[in-house]
Amino acid sequence: MSIAVSKLWKDLMLLKSHIARKSMRVTRAIMKKQLPKGLYAITAQNLSNGRDNITVVKEMFDSGIKILQYREKQKSKLEKFKECEIIKKLSDEYGVFFIVNDDIDIALAVKSGGVHIGQDDLPIEKAREIVGGDMTIGLSTHNPAQAQAAVSKGADYIGVGPIFKTFTKSSVEPVGFQYLDYCVKNIKIPKVAIGGIKISNIKSISKYNPENICMVSEITSSNNIKETISQAQEQMNTQKE
Ligand code: TZP
Ligand code: MG
């Protein structure tokens, strides 16, 4: 083979493997389970009126929650893993999209549908390298630059908040409606509005029409979780009519 022909052959082989890699990425993106729209719940055992997470989660699932994030900042890795193992089984039974906060290793170990990270966690590109293309990655964002970066770096959805002041996460200043409005108008991936959202103010959020709304303490601390969830869903639905 002449040098020119052998170079052409090498280039062709390189192109072939490049196309194969690209089409694998596209297939994975198509196959990836999509985050359902609607109410998004998060665990908070310290705000659950003395109930344990599993009891509260079961009640949430029985009340129709379709997305649940496990978020426990104070527990040991082992305790978190054990709870996540149970919740993963339950979420499969109930058809709930299960997301683990912070702990990429636990997310991989229990095979959750997603992992949620913040601005101070591993960079999203590294998280993606670790979890691969199939797992959903959510990223908390607090301003337009972070939202744009989340999209360009491959986040599957963003958290938008805290909208209002909240004691559940008091370290971040509220972003208000303006940032939610910006995201709804400019960011194409799903947006989860979060922070200080209650039955009493959920309509002020749902009128912006984000794909998801998250209430943490309003659900976990409710004495009637079923009623709270059904009221939230009703408020979100009537907004669309
Ligand atoms: N991220 C932004 S605000 C928040 C998180 C995890 C906590 C929201 O909790 P609550 O009880 O719904 O205000
Ligand atoms: Mg985090």
Render pLDDT for 189-199 as a digit per residue (tens, 0 to 9).
999 999 999 99
CATH number of the domain to which 99 belongs:
3.20.20.70
Ligand 1 pocket at CB < 6 A: 140, 159, 161-162, 166, 168-169, 194-197, 215-218
Contact at 8 Å (CB) between 141 and 150? yes
Q: Which residue's CA is the closest to the ligand 1 atom numbered 8?
A: 195
My answer on whether 25 and 112 are in the same domain is no
Structural domain count, the chain: 2
Number of residues that this document lists for the chain: 241
Measured distance CA(191)–CA(212) in Å, rounded: 6
My answer on whether 209 and 118 are in the same domain is yes
Domain hosting 18: range is 1-31
Facing residues of 150 across strands?
none
Render pLDDT for 30-52 as a digit per residue (tens, 0 to 9).
667 889 999 999 999 999 999 99
> For residue 207, what pLDDT is reported?
96
My answer on whether 13 and 117 are in the same domain is no
Render pLDDT for 88-140 as a digit per residue (tens, 0 to 9).
999 999 999 999 999 999 999 999 999 999 999 999 999 999 999 999 999 99
Crossing angle of the two packed helices 144-152 and 176-186, in degrees rounded to 10: 30
My answer on whether 107 and 2 are in the same domain is no
Region for 197 from its dihedrals, namely left if φ exceeds 0, alpha if ψ lies in -120 to 50, beta otherwise: beta
Render pLDDT for 1-24 as a digit per residue (tens, 0 to 9).
577 888 888 888 888 877 776 666
Three-class SS state of 69: strand
My answer on whether 11 and 66 are in the same domain is no
Tell me the residue type at 94: Y
Q: Decide which of 160 and 9 is more confident.
A: 160
My answer on whether 223 and 120 are in the same domain is yes
> For residue 4, what pLDDT is reported?
82
Nearest CA-CA partner of 218 in 52, 83, 56, 74 = 56
My answer on whether 79 and 198 are in the same domain is yes
Which of 42, 160, 172, 183 to mutate to test ligand 1, by most ligand atoms within 8 A of the CB atom? 42
My answer on whether 175 and 229 are in the same domain is yes
- C-alpha distance from residue 95 to each of 33, 62, 134 (Å): 12, 11, 17
Q: Decide which of 71 and 241 is more confident.
A: 71
Is residue 67 within a helix (H) or strand (E), and if so which, with residue range? strand 67-70
Torsion over CA of 43, 46, 47 and 48, rounded to 10 degrees?
A: 70
Nearest CA-CA partner of 81 in 97, 51, 105, 48 = 105
Q: Decide which of 201 and 17 is more confident.
A: 201
> For residue 237, what pLDDT is reported?
85
My answer on whether 2 and 50 are in the same domain is no
Q: Which residue's CA is the closest to the ligand 1 atom numbered 3?
A: 195
My answer on whether 2 and 49 are in the same domain is no
Contact at 8 Å (CB) between 199 and 191? no
Q: Is the pLDDT of residue 29 over 60?
A: no
> For residue 24, what pLDDT is reported?
61
Percentage of the chain modeled with pLDDT above 90: 82
My answer on whether 88 and 128 are in the same domain is yes
My answer on whether 170 and 228 are in the same domain is yes
- Write out the two tokens for 13: 């082989």
| Location of structure tokens 């639905």 | 237
Mean pLDDT of the chain: 93
